[in-house]
Amino acid sequence: MPEQFYRNAYLTQFDTRVVRHDEAGLVLEDTIFYPTGGGQPGDSGVARDALGTVLDITDTRRDRASREIVHLSAPDAPRFAAGTEVTLTLDWTRRYRHMRLHTALHLLSCVIRAGVTGGNLSAESARLDFDIGDEWVLDRDQIEQALNRLIADDYPVSIEMTSGAALAAQPELIKTMSVTPPLDLPEIRLIRIEDTDLQPCGGTHVARTGEIGRVTVKKIENKGSRNKRVVIALAD
Ligand SMILES: [Zn+2]
């Protein structure tokens, strides 16, 4: 299934057709809406038909069984008939903040060279959990400075495709210990930050690190004996 957000995270509007719209949600032939996953929230926005009916999409999920992307809305929202042509418009303000913070997390994993055991982000802040014990003291100012230096260096961010077999041969690329990507897939997407980072990831990212803008390290918390949580936020 082609999924436009996977190739081009900057598509904010897209014409497609309804496959099915029932109580479970709206399924489309293709979409620019990112489904919740990898710690990144699902997209919101609207779908509009030629008659002007507007459906507010509040969240986007991927069905575990069918792997279809399902667009969710309020139970009393209008429903489109199968085959209806609709125009999707993303809540771009929210999504772009996800893209900036998501890319910032990749950089954070380069500043702190330790195994990542978890991560999450919203439009306001983002966090990574690291497999670090008490022997390693994390300095908030140092991390913030190093992170903002990588951002200001404005490295290009690009997408590369690889196979599960090729990735299995380079396990050092898999930083996220708790969420190893499935290695039996024919195609796995890698995100390269020039001269800085390469890792498998299915989320949405900005095209250059400079787009992230200034970030702050909000807090560093101990979450268990071998778990340090670093929370960052966009300065704006
Ligand atoms: Zn990513």
- Count of Cβ atoms closer than 10 Å to residue 14 Cβ: 19
At 3 the pLDDT is 86
Cα–Cα dist 147/20, whole Å? 44
Res 179 pLDDT > 60:
no
**How far does residue 208's CA lie from ligand 1's centre (Å)?**
13
Structure tokens at 6: 């996977």
**How far does residue 201's CA lie from ligand 1's centre (Å)?**
5
**How far does residue 79's CA lie from ligand 1's centre (Å)?**
33
Structural domain spans, the chain: 4-90, 95-234
- Count of Cβ atoms closer than 10 Å to residue 172 Cβ: 7
Do residues 157 and 208 touch, judged by C-beta distance below 8 A? Answer: yes
Among 2.40.30.130, 2.40.128.20, 2.40.10.170, 2.40.110.10, name the CATH number for the domain at 4-90: 2.40.30.130
Q: Which residues pair with 191 in a beta bridge?
A: 159, 199
Do residues 201 and 222 touch, judged by C-beta distance below 8 A? Answer: no
Residue that has been written with the tokens 């209008």 in this structure: 78
**How far does residue 203's CA lie from ligand 1's centre (Å)?**
5
Q: How far is CA 184 from the centre of its chain?
A: 22
**pLDDT, tens digit, for every residue of 57-106?**
999 999 999 999 999 999 999 999 999 999 999 999 999 999 999 999 99
C-alpha count within 13 angstroms, C-beta hemisphere, residue 59: 11
Neighbours of ion ligand 1 (CB under 5 A): 201, 203
Lowest mean pLDDT among 18-27, 42-51, 127-136, 204-213: 127-136
- Please give the radius of gyration of the chain, using alpha carbons only, rounded to the nearest integer: 19
Do residues 88 and 45 touch, judged by C-beta distance below 8 A? Answer: yes
**How far does residue 158's CA lie from ligand 1's centre (Å)?**
11
Question: What class does CATH assign to 95-234?
Answer: alpha beta
**Span 212-220, mean pLDDT?**
97
**How far does residue 101's CA lie from ligand 1's centre (Å)?**
10
Q: What is the model's pTM?
A: 0.93
**How far does residue 115's CA lie from ligand 1's centre (Å)?**
15
